[in-house]
Amino acid sequence: MPRTLFISDLHLAEERPATTERFARFLAGAAPGCDALYILGDLFEYWIGDDGLELPFPAQVAGLLRPVAAATPTFFMHGNRDFMVASRFGAETGIALLPDPTVIDLYGEPTVLLHGDTLCTGDQAYQAFRARVRDPAWQAAALRMPAAQRIAIARDMRAQSEGAKEGKVEAIMDVAPDAVERAFVASGCARMIHGHTHRPARHEHVAGGRRCERWVLPDWYEGGGYLEATPSVLRPVGLA
């Protein structure tokens, strides 16, 4: 049966080997034979730049992805953790990098794909951070630093992010309804798939005068899962 798979927010890190093992099982068990695999951001807990592929853990993950991408069209969209992924990663894994947002034809249904962080417009501090680290000048300056320094900065940014969450109202870390509506209207789609919020669910919306559906992907901190699309249905699938 034709099927397409969507995952996000794995947050792979050397200190969490169980998640990497779960990902390897997913690639070996669920991915073979599918029409396409879409990774919608935050595959990694952090990414210091494509020269990080010379380090053992990123090289290990690239090695898991390479045979899958050779057999199945595989796509990657930047998340808020791995926004420094660039062309070398694509070349060495065979994965195509997608802009955020991207519209695909999903078995006849135009579907807009996002990481999801652009929808969280209520979190103004995060949106300011996102604009800063996506700036090419900021990234060029970061890449001139030694790899060890970039790793330390990435870990520090992660710790600061977790600390900042504790002082934020839950609502501002979720999507803003008006941002969702604008994204539906701008894309011309009535279906949306994204991650980022770690709140897996199917939501119904009215945007541009028509009914729309929004699927949120799960994170992989505990268990994990993916969204499977076929010509007749979309269904979330959990992982043991």
- What are 136-150's pLDDT values in tens digits? 999 999 999 999 999
Q: Is the pLDDT of residue 240 over 90?
A: no
The answer to whether residues 36 and 67 touch, using CB atoms and an 8 Å cutoff, is: no
Q: Show the tokens assigned to 171.
A: 């609502």
Percent of the chain with pLDDT over 70: 94
Ranges of H-type helices in the chain: 17-29, 56-71, 87-93, 124-133, 136-143, 147-166, 177-187
What 3-state class would DSSP assign to 27? helix
Domain locations along the chain: 4-238
Of 101-115, 121-135, 148-162, give the range with the top mean pLDDT. Answer: 101-115
- What are 73-85's pLDDT values in tens digits? 999 999 999 999 9
The DSSP result for 90-135, as a single string, is HHHHTPEEE-SSEEEEETTEEEEE--SGGG-TT-HHHHHHHHHHTS
Q: Which of 49-63, 154-168, 171-185 has the lowest mean pLDDT?
A: 154-168
Q: Using the CB atoms, write b or e for 155-174: b if 16+ within 10 Å.
A: eeeeeeeeeeeeeeeeeebb
- Is-cis flag, bond preceding 56, omega within 30? no
Task: Give pLDDT, residue 1.
Answer: 86
pTM for the predicted model, two decimal places = 0.94
Task: Give pLDDT, residue 169.
Answer: 56
Q: Is the pLDDT of residue 15 over 90?
A: yes
Find residue 104's DSSP bridge partners: 111
Q: Is the pLDDT of residue 163 over 70?
A: no
Q: How much is the mean pLDDT over the chain? A: 94
Q: Which of 41-45, 63-67, 155-159, 226-230 has the lowest mean pLDDT?
A: 155-159
> pLDDT confidence of 157, banded at 50, 70, 90?
confident
Pick the CATH number of 4-238 from 3.60.21.10, 3.30.950.10, 3.40.50.11540, 3.10.180.10: 3.60.21.10
Q: Which of 43-47, 51-55, 123-127, 160-164 has the lowest mean pLDDT?
A: 160-164
What integer is the mean pLDDT of 194-199?
A: 96
Q: Which burial class, exposed, middle or buried, applies to 218 when counting CB atoms under 10 A from its CB (0-12, 13-18, 19+)?
A: buried
What integer is the mean pLDDT of 103-129?
A: 96
The answer to whether residues 166 and 84 touch, using CB atoms and an 8 Å cutoff, is: no
Q: Is the pLDDT of residue 170 over 70?
A: no
Closest CA to 87 of 121, 125, 139, 49: 49
* Number of helices (H), then strands (E), in the chain: 7, 11
Task: Give pLDDT, residue 160.
Answer: 76
Closest CA to 218 of 74, 7, 59, 5: 7
What integer is the mean pLDDT of 171-185?
A: 89
DSSP character for 54?
A: G
What integer is the mean pLDDT of 223-238?
A: 96
Output the CA torsion sign for 12, 119, 191, 240.
positive
How far CA 14 is from CA of 39, 57, 61, 156, 165, in Å, comes to 19, 6, 10, 16, 23
Closest CA to 217 of 63, 24, 5: 5
Q: Is the pLDDT of residue 168 over 80?
A: no
Angle, CA 62 vertex, CA 59 and CA 68 arms, to 5°: 155
